[in-house]
């Protein structure tokens, strides 16, 4: 076997390792981000609009929940295998949704933080 030839796939290896790592990492980022939002809300600094903060927390929370559920789903493939095409579609939708909600949450927080500081 030369370096140019692809390695043969082993059947006992789940092919979604990078997606699992991404979801695991995104879950951690969501938890840290939620903690950061609460740290800025301690009341000693700028005053934030409570409705905006709730929107930020919901968006980041949804990203974290999707990431955690998708990581759990990928782990469960070792116990109950599913069709590769179906799992690929689910992973793709999960990647898009989790990244979208995290971006919305962090972007909303930056806008909320900037408007509170500039008052």
Phi/psi at 9 (5° precision): -75, 135
Residue positions counted in the chain:
119
Name all contacts of 33-37 with Cβ < 8 Å and 24+ positions apart: 33/60, 33/102, 33/105, 33/106, 33/109, 34/60, 34/61, 34/64, 37/109
Q: What is the pLDDT of residue 11?
A: 54
Mean pLDDT by runs of 10 across the 119 residues of the chain is 59 71 95 92 77 94 96 88 87 95 95 84
pLDDT in the model for residue 83: 86
3 lies in a domain? Answer: no
Residue 32 lies in a domain: yes
Number of compact structural domains in the chain: 1
Is 58 inside any structural domain?
A: yes
Answer whether residue 5 is part of any domain: no
pLDDT at 2: 62
Check residue 1 and give its pLDDT.
Answer: 53
Structural domain for 29, as ranges = 17-117
């Amino acid at each position: 076997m030369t370096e140019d030839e692809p390695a043969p796939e082993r059947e006992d290896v789940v092919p979604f390792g990078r997606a699992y790592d991404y979801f695991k990492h995104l879950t951690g980022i969501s938890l840290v981000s939620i903690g950061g939002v609460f740290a800025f809300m301690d009341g000693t600094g700028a005053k934030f609009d409570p409705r905006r903060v709730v929107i930020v927390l919901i968006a980041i929370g949804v990203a974290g929940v999707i990431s955690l559920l998708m990581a759990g789903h990928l782990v469960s493939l070792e116990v109950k295998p599913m069709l590769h095409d179906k799992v690929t579609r689910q992973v793709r939708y999960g990647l898009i949704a989790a990244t979208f909600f995290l971006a919305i949450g962090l972007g909303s927080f930056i806008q909320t933080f900037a408007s509170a500081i500039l008052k």
